[in-house]
Amino acid sequence: MSQVIGEGSVALFHYTLRGDDGAVIDTSDGRGAMAYLHGHGNIVPGLEAAMVGKATGDAFDVAVAPADGYGEFDASAVQQVHRSQLPAGFEPQVGMPLQAQGPDGQGFVVFVHAVEGAYVSLTTNHPLAGQTLHFAIRIEEVRDATAEELAHGHVHGPGGHHH
Binding footprint of Zn ion on the chain (CB under 5 A): 152, 161
Of 82 and 161, CB closest to Zn ion: 161
Q: Which of 150, 105, 132 is nearest to 22 (CA)?
A: 132
Question: Least distance in Å: CB of 152 to Zn ion?
Answer: 3
Of 31 and 161, CB closest to Zn ion: 161
Question: Least distance in Å: CB of 45 to Zn ion?
Answer: 22
Q: H-type helices in the chain, by residue range?
A: 45-51, 147-152
Question: Least distance in Å: CB of 31 to Zn ion?
Answer: 20
Of 89 and 162, CB closest to Zn ion: 162
With CB atoms as reference, the residue minimizing the distance to Zn ion is 152
Helix (H, G, I), strand (E, B) or coil at 150: helix
- Cα–chain-centroid distance for residue 95? 13
Question: Least distance in Å: CB of 126 to Zn ion?
Answer: 24
Question: Least distance in Å: CB of 106 to Zn ion?
Answer: 23
C-alpha 11/C-alpha 38 separation (Å) is 7
DSSP string, 27-61: E-TTT--EEEETTTTSS-HHHHHHHTT-BTT-EEE
Q: Which of 78, 160, 162 is nearest to 116 (CA)?
A: 78
Of 40 and 138, CB closest to Zn ion: 40
Of 138 and 152, CB closest to Zn ion: 152
